[in-house]
Chain A
C-alpha cells in the first residue's frame, strides 16, 4: 500500500487544523507551516508524477475497503499531473500572498488555503463520484472563505453571488449523483464505467439525465457558457492572489469532464451516445468568444484577468469536447499552460491594483512600473496565445486536433479571432495602464505607492517571475510534456487499465478484524443472549 498516494490530501488536512489550533495568533509560524506544507506537497507531487509516468495505475483503498464498496483514490498520469500542477501553483500563490501581505488582511488565511489545497487534491485523486462531490464542497467552502478574505462591501456582495450560484450547482450535483446511483447502484467511477457500458436500453433515459446534469455541474465549475456567470464578479472581487489560486478551480471542472466523459460516459458508450455532441463544442466556442470580448470590454484589470481565464477555459473545453485522443492531449497540455498564465495575470493584476487601483486607465506612474509592465507583457503574450510561449503551442495543438472535425472551420475561426480580440484587449489595457501614465502631467519625482505597504515586494516579484519562468520552461519542454500528455490521453481513451486496476479486488473476502469472534456474525449472542446489540444492547460502552 503506497501511502504517498493519500499524502496530498492528508498533509494539508493536518497542517490546517494544526494552524487554527495552535498558531492562530502567530502569523510567522503560520507562514512557515503553510510554505513548508506547499513545498512538501510539491515534492510529493513530483514523486507521484514520477511514479505515474510509466502508465501504472495505483489504487489506494481507504479504510481497506475495496472498490467499488469503499472509497478509493486513483493515481494515474492525469491525476498525478493535476496534483503536481496544484502543488506548484499553491506554492507560488502562498509565497505571493506572504510577500504582498494579503495573508494578514483577515483571519484564517493559511488554514483556509491549506484546506483549499486539500479539497482540490482530493478532487483530482478520488475515484469515487460521491467523494468527488465531498471534495468539491471542501474546495468550494474554502474558496468562499478565501474569496471574501479581507472583507469589503463589494467583496461581500460578490461573495453572496458566488456562494449562491455554487450552491445551486451543488444541488444539481446531488440530483445527478442520485440519478446515477438510482440506475446503476454504484458510486465508484470505474464501476460506473462497467455498469453504464452494460446498461440495458430500458434504463438509458434516466441515466442520461443524470449524466447530463453531472456534466453541467462540471461545466459550472469550468465556467462554460452559459454557466460561467459566477466567474467574472467572483474572481475580480476576490483578493487577486486568491483569484490566482482559483485559476486551478476551473481546471477541476475541466478535469472532471475529461475524466468522467472518457471513463464513464464516453461518446462510444451506447447509453451516453449523442449526449452533448450537439451543444458542448458550440458552447465551448461561445465561451472562448465571450471571454475574449470580455477582455476587450473590461474596465477593470481584475475583470480583464477573469475574462482572460474564461477565454482560455473556452479553448480548453473546445479541445476536450472534440473527444479524440489528439484533442485530449492538446487539452492536457493547455491545462497547465492556462493555469499558470491565468494565475500570473491575476498576480500581476494585484500588483497593479495595489499600486494604482483597478481601473484600466492612466494613473500617475506607479512604483516598479517598468518591471510590472514587462511581466504584464509576458503574461499577456501567454494569455493571448502569442508566440513564443506555451499558449501558442497549445492553440496550435488544439487547432491541429480539430482539423478533421465537422466544425473545424468554426473552431479555427473562433479560436483565432478570439486570440485577436484578446490581443486587442490586452494591448489596450497594457498601453492605458503602463504607457499612458507616462503621458500624464505629474511631477518628475512623483511615484504612486502601494496603499498597503507590502512586507516583501521582492518576494512577490520573484513569485511572478518564477511562474512566468515555469511557463517558459514548459514551452521549451513541450516535446516531452506532449509525450506525457499523449500517453495520458491514450490512457483516457483506453479505459481498461484504469477499470481493471480499480476493480481488481472487488471479490476479495472481508476479514473480521477480530478473528476470535469471526465464526459468528453476531458474536455477542454467544456470550449473552440478551446483550445482543438490539435497542437494549450493551455496546454503548464501546468507548
Chain B
C-alpha cells in the first residue's frame, strides 16, 4: 500500500465517525477501527521489505519553491513507530467504545482520535522536515481537542490549553530550528539531511538549530522543565491518556531525536543537553510519581520519568544506548498503555482514581488486577517482564557514562530513579488492589466486560512474551530500528540474563530501596506534602495570566478609544518620517523668482489668517465659527480667482454654501457651544504638534513653489489637445470630462454614495428611539415668529427659474468657459434648496416630483452609458466624440458626448445634494405642519377665506 494512502487513511477515516454517529456507537467505532486496521494492514505489507533493510519512498511535490514536498519514507524507525501508533490505536478504539458513556459525543471523539492518529503516522513517515512540522503541529491541535474533550470540565479546558501552549511553543521553536537545519543541509528532505552530518555539526548555526529543535522535542516529550503539562492533560478521557501519553504523542519528541540522531547526536552539546535533561526528568518524574494519589497522575509522572529515561539514552549518543532507547520505547508503550487502560477501568468501575480511596480491589476485579500486576511489575523493572530488560540496559549504559569527569553521578542518579520507579509501581499495585476490601468505594467495582479489558490484556501478553522471548520476538524489529536511528548496524543483544553485571546490582538495590520507600510512604508523603515546592501549574498559569494582563494592558492602553490621541500620533509620526525623508535628500536652489505681493493678495492673506486665528480662539462658539469658516471659504474662492482658476473659485464658493447649510442643519440638533475639556498642557501639546505640522507643510509648499518642475508636465499635452482632441477651450473642463473623465466618474459616484449614506443614516436614526426624542424635542433657542416670510418666498420663487437658467448657462458654457456640470448641478440644487428654506420642508417636498435617489442613479447611469457608448465605436470607455451640426436657419453648433457625460455629472450632483439636505431636514420634520401654504402670513388668502365664510 502506498505510503500516501497509509498516512491518509486515518484522515479519511476521520470523516466518517462524525457522519456515522446517527448510525450508532458501534458503527462509529467500527468505521474508526476499520480505517486504522486498513492502515495497519497497509503498513504490514511493507514489513518484509523493512526487515530486509529496505527504505520505502513516496514523493510528490507540494510547494517546491519552499522545499516543502509531500515526501514520505518508511524505514525501521518509522515502521516501529507507525506500528505502535496504528496497533495501539486499534486497541484504544476498541477500548474507548466501551469506556465512553452515552452522553459523550462519540463521533467527535473518534474523529479527533483519527485526526491525531493520522498526524502521528505523518510525523513518523515524513521525509521532509517541513512536512513533519505540519504533522507535528497537527498532533498539538488534535490533542488539544482530545484533552479538552470533556468541555464542561474546567480541568479539561485548562489542560488542553496548557498542552497546546507548551507544545505549540515548542513547535514554533522547532519551525525555526528546522528552517535553519534545512538551510545548512541545503534541503528539507530528511533523507538528504541525514547525509550531511559533517556540514551540520560544523556549522555555526548548529547550536541554535539544535536548541530550537530540542525545545520542540522536549516540550512534546514532557522533558524537564516542560514536563508539567502532561499530568494536567490527564483530564482527558482515559483512552486518550493511554494513547497520547503513553504510546504516541509524547513519543513524538523521542522519535524526532531518534530521527535526527545521526546528524545531531555525538557532540558535547548534544550529550550535555539531552542526556542531562533526560536524567533529571527521569529522576524528577519518578520522585513526583510516588507522591501522586491520582492513578492517572501517578502514571503520568511515571511516563515523564520513562520519557526521561529514553531521552537520556538517546543523549548518550552511543549506538548501544540508541538500541536501548529503541527497546525501551517498545516496552514502555506496551506496559504503560496497559496500565492507563487499567486505571481507566478502575475509574470506570470504582468511580474514583484516588489511591487513598482504593485498595482491596484484587478481590473484586481479579482480571484487572492480573493485568495491572503484570504491567506494573514490568514498569517497576522486575524480571521477567520486558520493562526489566530495557531498564537493565539503561542501568548498564548509565554505569559506563562519564558526566563531566564524574563517573558516579549518572549511575547513582539512574539507580535512584529506578528505586523510585519501583516504589511508585509497587504503590500502584499495592494501594489499589492489595489490602482489605473496603466498603466505601464511590461505585460498585467489579471486572468489566471483555471489550474493556481485552486491549490491556493483549498488551500484557506482549509484556510477558517480550520479556521472556525478547530476542526472537522483537529482536529484528529493534535491529532494523536501531539501524535506522544510528545509520549503522549496531549489535543488538536482547537477553533476560546478562550475568552479574553492575546493572544487576543497581537493579537489585533499586528494588530493595523501592520496597523500603513504599513502607515509609505514609511518613514520606506527609513530609512531601509539608515541604514547600514550586507548583508548576501555578507558575505556568501565573505566567499566562501575566502575559494576558500585559496583552490586555497594552491593547487597552494603546487602543483607548481616544481618536484625538490616535490622530496626534499619526501627525507626529508623519512629521518624523517626513523630516527623515527630507533630510536624507537634497534640495537645489530656487529656480523661480518670487512674485511680488500686491495689495489684494496681502489683504486676502490677512483676512484668511485673522479669520483662521479667530476660529481657533472662538471655536467654542460653534455658530460663530461657522460664520468665520464662511470668510475663509470666501477668501479661498477669491484667491482661486486671483490665481487664474475661475473654475475652482466657482466650485469652492458653491460647495461652501451647501456645506454651511448642511452644518447649520446639523448644528440645530447639537450643542451650540464646545466646553473646555482639555487641560492647558494638552492644548499646548496639541498646539505644538499643529504648529510643527503647519511649519512643515508650509516649508514643503514654499520649497516646491520656488522650484520648477523637473520634467515637462503632462498638462502641456492637455493644453495642446484640449480643443483639437477634446473640443473645448476650457482646459480644466476638458480634463474633467475627457482627459480624466474617469476621475470625474469616480467623483460623482463618491457624491452619490455620500447622499445614499446620509439617507440610510437618516432612516436608521429615525427608526430608532431617537425619533421619539426628536418629536418631543423642545427648541433650545428662541423661536421667532413667521417661519416663512412672504418677502423671501416671493423672491425665491422668482429666483428659482432664474437660478436654473444660470445653471443651464453654466452647464453649457462649461466646456469652453468656467462652469460645467458640477457647478451647474450645485446651483440647480441650491435653487431648489432655496424653496425648502423659504417655503418650508413639507411644502417643497410635496412639490418635488422626482425622487432624489432616481436622479442620482440616472446621473451615474447617464455618465456610465455615455462612457459605454464608446464601445460601439470600438474605442475605450469614456472616449468622447463631438461634431458640429448645422440646422437652417441656425448657425452651426457643437454636439459633444462630453456634454452628455457632464449631464450625468449634473444629475448626480443635483440628486446627491438634495437627497443629503432633505434627509437632514427630515430630522426636524414635525407632523402636522401645514404643507398647503408657502407663506405664513398672506392677507390675500385670509381675505379669500373671510369672503368664503361670509358667503357660506
Contact = CB atoms under 8 A, between A and B. Distances in A.
A297 B881 contact: no
A150 interface: yes
Given A512-B725, A527-B892, A185 B713 contact: yes
B943 to A, nearest CB: 44
Contacts of B809: 540
A531 interface: yes
A220 interface: yes
Contacts of B765: 151
B703 A205 contact: yes
Contacts of B586: 201-202, 204-205
A505 B879 CA distance: 16
Nearest to B18: A374
A513 B759 contact: no
Interface string B862-886: 0010011011001111111111100
B747 A134 contact: yes
A387 B738 contact: no
A179 B699 CA distance: 12
Contacts, number: 446
Contact of B867 (A10, A70, A168, A294): A10
Contacts of A276: 577
B555 A297 contact: yes
B854 A21 contact: yes
A396 interface: yes
A425 B812 contact: no
Contacts of A299: 552
A542 B896 contact: yes
B815 interface: yes
Interface string B735-751: 00011111101110110
Q: Which of A195, A226, A381, A479 has the most CB of B within 10 A?
A: A479
A514 B727 contact: yes
A163 B531 CA distance: 61
Contacts of B554: 290, 293, 297
A69 B63 contact: no
Nearest to A485: B65
A227 B570 contact: yes
A305 to B, nearest CB: 14
Contacts of B566: 161, 165, 229-230
A439 interface: yes
Contacts of B548: 296-297, 424, 428
B750 A137 contact: yes
Interface residues of B, number: 154
Contacts of B749: 13, 115, 118, 138
Contacts of A138: 746, 749-750, 753
Given A227-B570, A483-B65, A537 B816 contact: yes
Contact of B876 (A63, A111, A370): A63
Contact of A164 (B563, B717, B764, B881): B563
Contact of B759 (A64, A107, A420): A107
B763 A107 contact: yes
Interface string A367-395: 00010000001000100001110001101
Contacts of A199: 710
B739 A69 contact: yes
A518 B724 contact: yes
A111 B756 contact: yes
Contact of A294 (B133, B551, B584): B551
Nearest to B818: A535
A513 B876 contact: no
Contacts of B561: 161, 233
Contacts of A524: 892
A425 B183 CA distance: 31
A424 B582 contact: no
B585 to A, nearest CB: 4
A533 B861 CA distance: 30
Contacts of A535: 817
Interface string B561-582: 1010011011101100110111
B109 to A, nearest CB: 13
A198 B23 CA distance: 74
Given A226-B569, A533-B816, A521 B724 contact: yes
A183 interface: yes
B386 to A, nearest CB: 35
A353 to B, nearest CB: 19
Contact of A187 (B714, B742, B868): B714
Contact of A106 (B148, B161, B764): B764
Given A435-B151, A436-B157, A164 B760 contact: no
B168 interface: yes
A14 interface: yes
A24 B559 CA distance: 39
A51 interface: no
Contacts of A454: none
Interface string B522-566: 000000000000000000000010011011111110110101001
B853 A511 contact: no
A392 B137 contact: yes
A275 B108 CA distance: 54
A226 B565 CA distance: 11
Contacts of A187: 714
A60 B738 CA distance: 15
Nearest to A514: B883
B138 A387 contact: yes
Contact of B68 (A393, A416, A423): A393
Given A115-B749, A115-B753, A387-B135, A188 B581 contact: no
Interface string B685-716: 00000000000010010011001011111110
Interface in B899-918: 899
Contact of A186 (B551, B713, B740, B756): B713
Nearest to A231: B559
Contact of B584 (A149, A184, A274, A486): A274
B714 A185 contact: yes
B723 interface: yes
A482 B883 contact: no
Interface stretch (A140-148, A255-263, A336-344): A140-148
A538 B893 contact: yes
17 contacts: A20-B853, A62-B742, A115-B753, A119-B746, A151-B768, A185-B714, A212-B581, A393-B68, A416-B176, A424-B544, A431-B151, A439-B153, A513-B881, A522-B723, A539-B815, A542-B815, A542-B896
Given A135-B746, A400-B66, 4 more contacts: A185-B710, A297-B556, A424-B544, A527-B891
Question: Which 7 A/B pairs are nearest by Cβ-Cβ distance?
Answer: A202-B588, A21-B857, A151-B764, A185-B713, A435-B151, A204-B585, A145-B757
